[in-house]
Amino acid sequence: MKKRIISPSLLSANFTRLKEDISIVEDCGVNRLHLDVMDGHFVPNLTFGPFIINHINEITNSHLETHLMITDPHKYLKDYIDAGSNTLIFHYEASTDIKRDLSFIRDNNVLAGIAINPDTDPSNLLKYFDYLDYILIMSVFPGFGGQSFIEDTLETMIYLDKKRNNKDILIGVDGGVNVKTIDKVYNTGVDVTIVGSGLYGADNIQERYKQLISNEQ
């Protein structure tokens, strides 16, 4: 069984002690961090921009995956590349030219990712596989943390895992992943889970991380 990759969502961290909250999970073995960017338009919530990501890049050596939940992402791709994103993800539902946007990200030596909402047909992504490094499957509707996992998205995970065949594409899952849901998510064949409140909401983050990466729940 493949090793579980956990990418903690910093949206659930305490921003008044961000460096400490990053260090806690890195000491557990984390080397990938998930950054949620929301514009208050594509999704109803508003979070942070390139300045904060640049600051995070200065205090960690972890791989930064930036998830743009914004309208017209092509207008802002360069800003988030320059801020230090290692993987840059935009939404299928928000882009007006997906090949252009994926190619732009790769041309700037950053890994290109695309996210899909729970009600988006995953077969829509097949024609973009040659342009993709990462697929992020939303298992909740984007915009707020702490939502319940949508069971129907398990079929999307299984489908995309089969369709990628031997292509070098990572598949991640974002939304409602916790100790109760993580086993069935990894059983679909995906590589990465984004865990926010399911990790940072624990009284003991180190023990919770051990539970999440264990294959024996």
Question: Which residues are tagged catalytic?
Answer: 36, 174
- In the sheet that 63-69 helps form, which strands lie side by side, from edge to edge? 5-8, 192-195, 170-174, 134-138, 111-116, 87-91, 63-69, 32-38
Residue type, 34: H
- Give just the sign of the alpha carbon dihedral 170, 175, 179, 182: negative
- Residues 6 or more apart whose CB falls under 8 angstroms from that of 215 comprise 1, 4, 183, 186
Q: Single out the residue of 130, 188, 195, 119 nearest to residue 160, CA to CA.
A: 188
